[in-house]
């Protein structure tokens, strides 16, 4: 027994050492391979890996790490702090603020807790609905940071106290604190040992507060060299620097070149031609030339993150080039791995695409399967995959305030149908992006002749898919809402007619406002089901529905008080058809089943959504609501554990 304990301790020590020096991809591999029983004996493992993941700008994964750690040690202060920080960095400011305020109420007034709490008030100020509210939150931030600095003397909360004082108009006090922090940090950086990023960044911020821009540039340049790939930390420093420069009416680009967060690339491109393709588009002979052009684009754009699918040809060439450049990649497969490999990877006899596919997926930071199965009608599975890629990339870019750059390998033609490179480029452009293009047709023109019997598509030709005849089945991407009335089972018989008249009647009246986007609706007892053509309006309807249920005084209508709704949202590809029994236009498929599993796990009065819904909302620029990460949540009826988001109204931000 003693030998076993010693062995476990040695394994834990090895894990902690490996975490300390790991890259993000290595951290993710360590996390996936963890032995939960072994980790439960080592809270340090959870704390350290969460800290490292946050440093590298992955707050959602860090949140999942600390959530598991807290399930074992619910009162662990450091894990609760990191949970608050992960939520703050993912944009869930109100939840982060609540967690950190609860720590303060529990007597935690250390620098870490108060510093993180001050950060949440700073974030709340940035999203305040009015200038008065913004001022209130900025003052709370200044007071909280000042309390932490006075009690700890730590330069981190000191420099934040200085910045907040500047923003509330206390310029002399701000510069006074900044000078004290400067003296403190100058002593720290004289010792060449250890990590000095935060000291150097604080010196840069102190110089900005006192309007010494040249000194600020010098310190930030040194901090950037120290930071390496700690993009989460760089983003945090850059945000404060921008606030100060904005206050002084200075150009923020002076600092951006030092505190640089690399761009996020979302990718699409043509597959290698199938052996039976009648007209050549991307013959395998041109693979080296296309690979060279992709690598040239990556060298020019200097990205830090990439999102793509993994079909043979352009996708895999892009993923390989990104990995060779040391860039983090995330892969989205449109449907199950085996079927996808058969359809889009392993169809060229004697090729090594399958092995290359396995290698890039093994090294990916994350692999997501958009749908468990492929819809057989149309190219909707690929359309959904491409929208999901754009949305996930947009979320990543928003977390780090980084540029989002679409990149495509495209021949400029109209394409073979929905879901291909041409349709993706069209979607990108309609969303306001101007993609970088690797011109496949130009590469083909500049290359040697194809083998006998192969020909290229003429440049003037534009291929349009032949319209299929009207069929009873179609497919499309939709948003879906399931809701359930909390307290319905306790209604008495006399209350049921009043429930139908007043509760369902009010919902029917609300749905009339959204009739242009509601394409299907149904009820059964206390259950509601709506299908929408537009993700943004689906989210807006869900929030208005939740508000209606929560604020109406149902007791005045002869119903019991506290009647409420649980609401779940999802988006995905479905079959569209006329129900042969009812004659009504209906929607069905595995994504409808997935949508139905979200509502039962939603707290009463709240709106929860799937990752797919959050991603499509980001892809389509939904402006009426925001999606805050909740975590990996077990779905109802054993449907598995899936990433879940809390949907809430977006407040009109006050002008900063």
Same domain, 109 and 62: yes
Question: For the ranges 32-41, 289-298, 392-401, which has the lowest average pLDDT?
Answer: 32-41
Q: How far apart are CA 528 and CA 485, in angstroms?
A: 8
Give the helix ranges, DSSP H, for 248-313: 253-256, 287-301
* Beta carbons of 423 and 374 less than 8 angstroms apart: no
Does residue 452 lie in a domain region? no
Is 470 a residue whose pLDDT tops 50? no
Q: How far apart are CA 72 and CA 144, in angstroms?
A: 30
User: pLDDT of 258-297, one tens digit each?
Assistant: 999 999 999 999 999 998 888 889 999 999 999 999 999 9
In the block, tokens 């080592």 appear at 42
Same domain, 20 and 157: yes
Same domain, 278 and 248: no
- Smallest CA-to-CA distance from 528 within 490, 491, 484 is with 484
* Domain end call among 218, 238, 256: 256
Does residue 465 lie in a domain region? no
Does residue 655 lie in a domain region? no
Does residue 76 lie in a domain region? yes
- Domain with residue 191: its CATH number is 1.25.40.10
* Beta carbons of 108 and 77 less than 8 angstroms apart: yes
Residues 6+ apart with CB under 8 A from 592: 480, 574
The pair of structure tokens assigned to 23 is 């890259």
At residue 464, the pLDDT reads: 40
Does residue 412 lie in a domain region? yes
- Smallest CA-to-CA distance from 55 within 394, 400, 368 is with 400
- Smallest CA-to-CA distance from 304 within 433, 438, 396, 198 is with 396
* Domain end call among 428, 446, 464: 446
Same domain, 388 and 432: yes
Range of 595's domain?
Answer: 473-649
Pairing of strands 264-269, 404-410: parallel
At residue 571, the pLDDT reads: 98
Range among 117-126, 190-199, 438-447 rated most confident: 117-126
At residue 10, the pLDDT reads: 61
* Domain end call among 238, 256, 274: 256
Give the helix ranges, DSSP H, for 302-434: 314-324, 337-344, 353-363, 380-400, 421-430
- Smallest CA-to-CA distance from 56 within 89, 34, 81 is with 89
Does residue 463 lie in a domain region? no
Same domain, 616 and 510: yes
Residues paired with residue 522 on neighbouring β-strands, in sequence order: 529
Same domain, 381 and 493: no
The pair of structure tokens assigned to 119 is 């950060």
Q: What is the band of 43 on the pLDDT scale with cuts at 50, 70, 90?
A: confident
Q: How far apart are CA 155 and CA 219, in angstroms?
A: 15
Same domain, 33 and 169: yes
User: pLDDT of 58-92, one tens digit each?
Assistant: 888 899 999 999 999 999 999 999 999 999 988 88
Does residue 601 lie in a domain region? yes
The pair of structure tokens assigned to 449 is 């002749």
- Smallest CA-to-CA distance from 178 within 216, 124, 141 is with 216
Does residue 451 lie in a domain region? no
Same domain, 304 and 336: yes
- Smallest CA-to-CA distance from 593 within 543, 528, 637 is with 637
Same domain, 250 and 331: no
Is 11 a residue whose pLDDT tops 80? no
- Domain with residue 638: its CATH number is 3.30.70.1230
Is 459 a residue whose pLDDT tops 80? no
Same domain, 513 and 599: yes
The pair of structure tokens assigned to 599 is 């509502």
Q: What is the band of 560 on the pLDDT scale with cuts at 50, 70, 90?
A: confident
Same domain, 404 and 503: no
Measured CA distances, 83 to 47, 127, 252, 629, 641 (Å): 10, 21, 30, 12, 19
At residue 473, the pLDDT reads: 85
At residue 656, the pLDDT reads: 38
> Mean pLDDT over residues 36-45, rounded?
85
* Beta carbons of 211 and 248 less than 8 angstroms apart: yes
Residues paired with residue 17 on neighbouring β-strands, in sequence order: none
Q: How far apart are CA 259 and CA 233, in angstroms?
A: 10
Residues 6+ apart with CB under 8 A from 408: 267, 268, 269, 421, 424, 425, 428, 435, 436, 437, 438
User: What is the end-to-end Cα distance of the chain in Å, rounded?
Assistant: 62
Q: What is the band of 8 on the pLDDT scale with cuts at 50, 70, 90?
A: low
Give me the number of domains the chain comprises.
Answer: 3
Same domain, 268 and 252: no
Q: What is the band of 446 on the pLDDT scale with cuts at 50, 70, 90?
A: low
- Domain with residue 301: its CATH number is 3.40.50.450
> Mean pLDDT over residues 505-525, rounded?
96
Is 651 a residue whose pLDDT tops 80? no
């Amino acid at each position: 027994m003693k030998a076993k304990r010693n062995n476990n301790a040695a394994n834990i020590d090895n894990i902690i050492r490996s975490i300390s020096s790991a890259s993000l991809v290595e951290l993710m591999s360590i996390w996936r391979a963890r032995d939960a029983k072994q980790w439960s004996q080592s809270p340090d493992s959870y704390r350290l890996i969460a800290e490292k993941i946050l440093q590298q700008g992955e707050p959602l994964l860090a949140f999942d790490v600390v959530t598991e750690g807290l399930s074992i040690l619910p009162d662990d202060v450091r894990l609760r702090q990191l949970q608050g920080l992960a939520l703050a960095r993912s944009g869930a400011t109100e939840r982060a603020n609540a967690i950190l305020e609860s720590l303060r109420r529990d007597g935690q007034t250390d620098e870490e807790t108060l510093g993180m709490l001050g950060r949440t008030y700073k974030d709340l100020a940035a999203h305040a609905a009015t200038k008065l509210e913004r001022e209130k939150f900025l003052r709370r931030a200044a007071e909280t940071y000042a309390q932490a600095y006075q009690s700890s003397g730590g330069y981190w909360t000191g420099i934040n106290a200085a910045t907040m004082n500047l923003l509330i108009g206390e310029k002399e006090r701000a510069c006074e604190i900044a000078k004290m922090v400067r003296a403190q940090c100058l002593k720290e950086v004289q010792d060449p040992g250890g990590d000095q990023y935060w000291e150097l960044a604080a010196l840069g911020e102190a110089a900005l507060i006192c309007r010494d821009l040249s000194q600020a540039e010098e310190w930030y340049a040194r901090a950037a060299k120290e930071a390496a790939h700690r993009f989460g930390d760089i983003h945090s420093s850059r945000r404060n620097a921008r606030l100060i420069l904005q206050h002084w009416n200075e150009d923020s680009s002076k600092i951006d070149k030092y505190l640089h967060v690399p761009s996020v690339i979302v990718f699409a491109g043509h597959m290698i031609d199938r052996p039976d393709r009648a007209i050549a588009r991307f013959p395998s002979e041109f693979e080296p030339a296309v690979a060279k052009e992709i690598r040239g684009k990556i060298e020019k754009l200097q990205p830090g993150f990439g999102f793509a699918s993994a079909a043979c040809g352009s996708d895999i060439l892009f993923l390989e080039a990104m990995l060779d450049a040391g860039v983090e990649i995330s892969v989205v497969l449109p449907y199950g791995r085996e079927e996808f490999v058969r359809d889009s990877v392993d169809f060229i006899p004697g090729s090594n695409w399958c092995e290359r596919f396995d290698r890039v997926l093994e090294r990916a930071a994350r692999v997501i399967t958009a749908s468990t199965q492929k819809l057989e009608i149309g190219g909707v599975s690929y359309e959904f995959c491409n929208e999901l890629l754009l949305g996930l990339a947009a979320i990543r870019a928003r977390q780090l305030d980084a540029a989002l750059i679409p990149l495509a390998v495209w021949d400029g033609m109209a394409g073979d149908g929905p879901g291909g490179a041409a349709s993706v480029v069209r979607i990108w452009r309609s969303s306001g992006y101007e993609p970088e293009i690797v011109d496949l047709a130009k590469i083909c023109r500049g290359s040697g002749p194809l083998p006998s019997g192969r020909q290229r598509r003429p440049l003037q030709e534009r291929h349009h898919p032949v319209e299929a005849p009207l069929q009873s089945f179609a497919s499309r991407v939709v948003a879906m809402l399931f809701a359930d009335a909390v307290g319905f089972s306790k209604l008495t018989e006399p209350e049921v007619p009043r429930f139908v008249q007043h509760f369902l009647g009010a919902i029917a009246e609300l749905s009339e406002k959204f009739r242009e986007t509601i394409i299907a609706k149904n009820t059964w007892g206390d259950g509601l089901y709506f299908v929408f053509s537009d993700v943004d309006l689906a989210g807006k309807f869900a929030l208005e529905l939740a508000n209606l249920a929560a604020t109406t005084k149902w007791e005045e209508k002869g119903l019991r008080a506290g009647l409420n709704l649980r609401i779940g949202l999802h988006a995905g590809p479905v079959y569209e058809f006329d129900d042969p029994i009812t004659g009504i236009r209906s929607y069905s498929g595995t994504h409808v089943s997935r949508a139905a599993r979200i509502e039962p796990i939603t707290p009463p009065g709240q709106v929860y959504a799937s990752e797919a819904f959050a991603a499509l909302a980001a892809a389509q620029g939904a402006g009426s609501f925001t999606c805050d990460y909740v975590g990996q949540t077990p779905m109802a009826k054993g449907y598995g554990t899936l990433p879940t988001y809390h949907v809430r109204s977006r407040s009109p931000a006050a002008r900063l």
